[in-house]
Structure 1
Amino acid sequence: MDKRGSRRKNSARKQRAARAAADKPQGRLQRWTRRLLVWGGAIALLGALFIALAVAFAARSMPSYYQLKATQTAQTIVVRARDGTEIVELGPSFGKWLTSDEIPQVMKDAMISVEDRRFHSHFGIDPVRTGGAIIEGITGSRARVGGTSTISQQLARNVFLNNNRSIDRKAREAILAMALEWKFSKEQILELYLNKVYFGGGAYGIDSASRKFFSHPATELSVAEAAIIAGLVKAPSRYSPTADVDAAVGRASVVLRLMKEQGRISPDVTVDPSAVRLKEEASQNSVRYFTDWALPQLDLLLPETFEPIEVWTTLDVGMQRAATASIKSNTPDGAQGAMVSMDRDGAVLALVGGTDYVQTNYNRATDAMRQPGSSWKLFVYLAALESGYTPDDRVVDTPVDIDGWRPRNSSGRNVGEIDLRTAFAYSINTVAAQLGNEVGFGTVASMARRFGITTEINTYPAMVLGSNEVRLIDMTRAFAVVSAKGSSVEPYGILKVETAEGELLYQHEAPRRSQLVPDYVAAGITDLLQTAVATGTGRAAQIGRPVAGKTGTTSSNKDGYFVGFSSGITTGVWMGRDDNARVGGLQGGTAPARAFAAYMRYAVKDRPVEEFDTDLQLPEWQLEPDDEYLLGDPEDYYFIDEQGNLIEPGTSDSSRGDPLADDFDRTLDPDRPRVPAQPGQRAPQQTPRGADGAPQAIGDDFLDEATGARREPRAAPTARPTQPQVQ
């Protein structure tokens, strides 16, 4: 019993000693190490199994080699001028597909040297580069994983993913890269990569890049040329030889050094990438302003398609060059200039949105909203002509006060009595203010809307002098309507669209045109516009044939405008600074008018000289008093004034104090000033007629009122504003 008890005590003592040893730090470390190894091994095994399954699944669902070969990443658009000449190619260009045997070995070596030196030994990802990048990401300041992509990973990203460099995207990229390696050979992967990688300037693949930069196919690449192309992959825009030759040469030198270090070219070989002859490209500078405006319209004109297309536009190459030259040579230093030129049907022949597209691609012709100055008076005088004025009517240039607004003329003087033609030609502000006040500022705004102004229009009195901001293309369209004798004009830039195989996808059809103003109004405003160029503020726009147009200058010479037309071509010019600062000496009748003339001399050289139709065939209600006898004795008829009051026979004198009666009396006395009727107002000379067209003694309104048959009360028209001093 004593022996058994002694053994039990010894056993318990040993157990306590073992527990005490296990509780020591060194024992605990060994225990946790074993646990970590066991669990780590299990997790790694599960992770490897998961990755293997993911790679296998990705490889199984991946398109075949031939499907990947046939896949394009975006749409190619060839843009042609109206005569069919190619002016620019947008979107990707893929060149000819080169098989692995056709690709020069020097091109393969250059790409592998700079992008993936262990390409032939890894399994889709490079553990050395990946491990180094992960360590750098943990210890360094960078929050994103970068610089780890192999050629297989880059191919996976280009074909299947986007350029987001998040951890999640990098993980999927690695899985897909290993799937590519599982499914395809190294030669197939390299062939796909070299035919699909982006080299800048819209060029995808080495053949497209070689043709773009060196004007020959990739099968003829030299060592230096291959080094330049291989160097583009890192940053196509930064190292493009067409954008920065020095940067491209410097990057190519790095590629050549790596090729020598890796034994892919002999260290004794001397290669000078700066001696490479680059392709000279025709300038596409200002043409891009036109394509930036026209091509977005394809989204509305075409069904969704990703196949290559060819777009025939309205652009005239010669006119575009002339427009660009005239803007560059006439725009004041430090300022910008823009021009829009369109044919009589609305086809845009030339469009320049700035002095240099490379410096700034902001399109001032179609997007900038600037004040048009006195060129806005087009709408004021259109409204006045429609209300009854004629170019020969007398007006008085005198100081004006409209609800506290006191416009002044640029000359600082008032010249007294003149005709409407002279007031317009010399852009007299006080007369425009009086006319706008008479016809109504809302009427002027409605006229501007009718003629195609799409921007917001306020109706404060100062609006008659061009305080509203407009787009140059809208103002040019408005003047084109006048050139078309009042017929509506819709600007357009695309004639037709075809697929690369010649299938017609879209054909422009002329829209239905409507008459926006009567012929006599179009003739009257053309008369005024022609005089403005012949003897007024637009004399610098003369080109040796009939020209009609209008200048515009804003306060402190911040904007200069000239818009005009000749021989069916309408052209608008704007000049100013983007920051809206003052431009010394800038006026619509100077630099903008000179730019207009320089361009138009070329634009109309092959067109016949066209005289303007300024013969006013006035409507019946504007006939001279001598013609009134054709309508009978006016005293035999009843008239209704603007407030709906009846004017009975024999009371048309001034005893009633009726303004319409006074107007009627003036028609009988040619020496008295004429107050023109406004749009929609019953003209005092016009004879009331019945439903059968026969003259009637009294109007329908009076008959309805007298018989009690009137069904709705008639709203009284707004009182007519005070007439400017007209003689």
Structure 2
Amino acid sequence: MARRGSRRTAGRRSSTKAKQQSGLGRWMRRLFIWGGVLALLGALFLGLAIAFAAQSLPNYSQLKATQNAQTIVVRARDGTKIAELGPSFGKWLDSSEIPDVMKEAMVAVEDRRFRSHIGVDPLGLARAVYVWATGEKRFGATSTITQQLARNVFLNSNRTLDRKLREAVLAMALEWKFSKEQILELYLNKVYFGGGAYGVDSASRKFFSHPATELSTAEAAIIAGLVKAPSRYSPTADVQAAVSRANVVLQLMRQQGRISADEASVDVSAVKLQEDKAQNSVRYFTDWALPQLDLLLPETFEPIEVWTTIDVGMQRAGTAAIKANTPKGAQGALVSLDRDGAILAMVGGTDYVTSSYNRATDALRQPGSAWKLFVYLAALESGYTPGDTVKDVPVTIDGWTPRNSSGSNAGEINMRTAFAYSINTVAAQLGNEVGFGSVASMARRFGITTPISTYPSMVLGSSEVRVIDMTRAFAAVSEKGTSVEPYGIVKVTDSSGNTLYEHEAARKVQLVPDYVAAGITDLLQTAVNTGTGKAAQIGRPVAGKTGTTSSNKDGWFVGFSSGVTTGVWMGRDDAKAVPGLQGGRAPAQAFSAFMRYAVQDRPVEQFETELKLPEWQLEPDDEYYFGDPDDYYYIDDQGNLIEPGRQQPEPMPFAVEGEGFPQGQPPQQGPGQYPGQNQGQTPPADGAPQAASDDFLNRATGQNRNAGQTRPPPAQPVRRGPPAPVQFPPPRQQQPPN
């Protein structure tokens, strides 16, 4: 009985096992059948997708003609090419024109099975899946040359599964429609090699200064090595990285039997590279000038050439002057203008590759005593002359007490000496006397575009400015008080030479009378001859002004000679002190080094400093000699800025509500008053006779005018003498820059 039970149990087990094996077999057969069906359907679908894609692809001629973006060639004033921006496609090379070594180098490093796969590499894909499945690395199969071509021509670079699938379909469609040689020709003429170069011919010309038809084995290896990481392996950015990568390419070519051992041992480091001008300091200029094309030109995508004002030699000289003279740890900037406003040189820092921030056009820094240009311009326009006596004495204005950098006072001196030695107390008294609003409006008149404070300390340069604006202001003085508008683009042409834009000279405006320009030029020349700017001398007449801010945070020198005006600034980007930095040292020395080159081929020009005062100043009793206010800017008796040729007053643009005068208006004056005059006081406090009669003052300030008079009065003459007490808001800066 036991045996029969045992046999029955064993039989049931065998039957169960047989049933399980039979069920597993059925599922395996079903899985195989359905898998085969799905694979067949997938293959059919893939085939249809490939066929449809192949039918939709452009023909070969259309693919050759595609170009993805605009190319901009930038030229200097003499026609020299100084930069090429945007894609550069070079000359299209047929497959027969491309050296075999270039083809073999690209295949060796990018797709060794290129000539045998169908657009995707099954072996490479299987290897990538295995690596991903074993957990060693993330999934990332290397794209074939055909896949790269499909991505470059038709797709973006997003790393998504959908994009990879479409890339694979398009790659197989390309293989279906075109031959291997056609695909390789398209690839080598379109792939990106860095630096804006698309295609081997463009890359060869950029890096080696010759067409791709002349590529050597070492040069081909360098170019082939760039595709993986154009910026990392660029020979103009990192020569050693490019050489190392090229040696890897040569070894792969040797291992795959594409070159001999002798060819693989070439000295890549001996390859002569072209200097990369696109990364030198001229890029500061192109970064500033080229965005203006959006305003100057209609929308266009065709290649264009931009002819600029830059002088190649001056640009090099400016770069060298800044690098050689800027203190360690500091930055420097330089702008040089021709007499018509053309930018001859622009240096925005010591090294563009290290920092592309343009300190010549974008940085806002305190100008220090260079700002006194506007203080003395306002004083000269109000009636002072360079030989007039002023007093270097301690002074306090609404609680603010300026001090001279020397720590001492000289007593009675003339205006010329006070300016040459940058006496702060005199500038403060002059600013108080003519009105801080008048100084601010003078700065606006001469092209300062940044906010201007009207607190007393503003006379010593507490308001921040740009280097290009200060240079523009001094250039206007060089042009005898006539406005100067900086510009950098002369004309723009298309690929056929047609002119798309041409610069037109800006309308000239007389900012101040001739005698004011002559007077300030006298002061500026003295500052260089005998004052703080001696280091700026170049062996011919130079006029200019130094500027140094508190704690030596900024150093300036701005000046002109022979029609060239140059501004130099030095300091740290974080506005920390620079030991020993003064405007009369490193900035003045950089100015001198640059200007000696800049004016070497120009005739020596003597400055016109002889004051030819208008009759209204010499004969104040005759109203006829007031001068013509239509000739230049002036401030009317309401404190409004009047432009030349305009009869209606305009609000003064420099004041900001909450700062300085409320809503842009100066303190209200009493009848017959003018800035700096005590209310109701006719004779000066010291008992000395006043400079002009009451009748003259009344007429000059707009009082007692004839009913039929329609022309506004000229700028009010200001009494010279001890500064009168004028109430201003409390100063924000008690320790002004020197």
- Say yes or no: does 1:582 pair with 2:580: no
- Say yes or no: does 1:354 pair with 2:349: yes
Q: Is the 8 Å Cα contact of residues 119 and 168 (structure 2) preserved in structure 1?
A: yes
What is the correspondence of 1:133-282 to structure 2 with a 5 Å cutoff? 133-137=128-132, 140=135, 146-266=140-260, 270-274=264-268, 276-281=270-275
Give 1:172 deviation, angstroms.
Answer: 2.5
Cα 1:233/1:685, change in 2 over 3 Å: closer
- Return the match for 2:700 from 683, 689, 695: 683
Equivalent position amino acid for 1:500 in 2:
S
Q: Is the 8 Å Cα contact of residues 319 and 347 (structure 2) preserved in structure 1?
A: yes
Match of 1:724 in 2: 723
Structure 1 residue matching 2:97: 3-state secondary structure: coil
What is the correspondence of 1:520-559 to structure 2 with a 5 Å cutoff? 520-559=515-554
What is the correspondence of 1:575-724 to structure 2 with a 5 Å cutoff? 575-619=570-614, 621-623=616-618, 645=671, 659=680, 661-662=682-683, 672=689, 674=691, 683=700, 688-691=705-708, 724=723
Match of 2:431 in 1: 436
5+ residue gaps in structure 2? 1-11, 626-636, 639-666, 726-738
Give 1:23 deviation, angstroms.
Answer: 13
Equivalent position amino acid for 2:390 in 1:
V
Give 1:589 deviation, angstroms.
Answer: 0.7
Structure 2 residue matching 1:549: 3-state secondary structure: strand
Give 1:345 deviation, angstroms.
Answer: 1.0
Equivalent position amino acid for 1:496 in 2:
K
Cα 1:26/1:661, change in 2 over 3 Å: farther
Q: Distance in 2 between matches of 1:111 and 1:606?
A: 51
RMSD between aligned residues: 3.7
- Say yes or no: does 1:336 pair with 2:353: no
Q: Distance in 2 between matches of 1:541 and 1:275?
A: 44
Q: Distance in 2 between matches of 1:137 and 1:440?
A: 77
Q: Is the 8 Å Cα contact of residues 621 and 683 (structure 1) preserved in structure 2?
A: no
Moved more, 50-59 or 150-159: 50-59
Q: Distance in 1 between matches of 2:704 and 2:538?
A: 47
Q: Distance in 1 between matches of 2:723 and 2:133?
A: 82
Q: Distance in 2 between matches of 1:201 and 1:615?
A: 55
Q: Distance in 1 between matches of 2:425 and 2:135?
A: 72
Match of 2:80 in 1: 85
- Say yes or no: does 1:503 pair with 2:498: yes
Q: Distance in 1 between matches of 2:386 and 2:572?
A: 36
Give 1:47 deviation, angstroms.
Answer: 4.0
- Say yes or no: does 1:309 pair with 2:308: no
CA deviation vs aligned residue, 1:553-594 (integer Å, no higher than 9, x gap): 011111110001112111000112223222221110111111
Equivalent position amino acid for 2:505 in 1:
A
Structure 1 residue matching 2:492: 3-state secondary structure: strand
Match of 2:97 in 1: 102
Larger Rg: 1
Cα 1:67/1:686, change in 2 over 3 Å: same
Structure 2 residue matching 1:101: 3-state secondary structure: helix
Q: Distance in 2 between matches of 1:137 and 1:466?
A: 65
Structure 1 residue matching 2:429: 3-state secondary structure: helix
5+ residue gaps in structure 1? 1-16, 632-638, 648-656, 701-716
Cα 1:577/1:268, change in 2 over 3 Å: closer
Q: Is the 8 Å Cα contact of residues 73 and 306 (structure 2) preserved in structure 1?
A: yes
Cα 1:375/1:541, change in 2 over 3 Å: same
Match of 1:67 in 2: 62
TM-score under structure 2 length normalisation: 0.81
Give 1:419 deviation, angstroms.
Answer: 2.3
Cα 1:693/1:37, change in 2 over 3 Å: closer
Q: Distance in 2 between matches of 1:176 and 1:675?
A: 90
Equivalent position amino acid for 1:205 in 2:
G
CA deviation vs aligned residue, 1:23-46 (integer Å, no higher than 9, x gap): 998787667656655655555455
Moved more, 35-44 or 405-414: 35-44
Cα 1:434/1:65, change in 2 over 3 Å: same
Cα 1:46/1:588, change in 2 over 3 Å: same
Cα 1:319/1:645, change in 2 over 3 Å: closer
Q: Is the 8 Å Cα contact of residues 547 and 556 (structure 2) preserved in structure 1?
A: yes
Match of 1:470 in 2: 465
CA deviation vs aligned residue, 1:371-413 (integer Å, no higher than 9, x gap): 1111011122222333333323332222222232222110111
Number of aligned residue pairs: give it. Answer: 665
What is the correspondence of 1:37-52 to structure 2 with a 5 Å cutoff? 37=32, 40-41=35-36, 43-52=38-47
Give 1:168 deviation, angstroms.
Answer: 3.1
Structure 2 residue matching 1:384: 3-state secondary structure: helix
What is the correspondence of 1:481-492 to structure 2 with a 5 Å cutoff? 481-492=476-487
Equivalent position amino acid for 1:689 in 2:
N
What is the correspondence of 1:550-569 to structure 2 with a 5 Å cutoff? 550-569=545-564
Structure 1 residue matching 2:334: 3-state secondary structure: strand
Give 1:313 deviation, angstroms.
Answer: 0.9
What fraction of aligned residue pairs are identical, expressed as a percent?
72
Cα 1:187/1:386, change in 2 over 3 Å: same
Q: Is the 8 Å Cα contact of residues 621 and 686 (structure 1) preserved in structure 2?
A: no
Structure 2 residue matching 1:202: 3-state secondary structure: coil
Structure 2 residue matching 1:75: 3-state secondary structure: coil
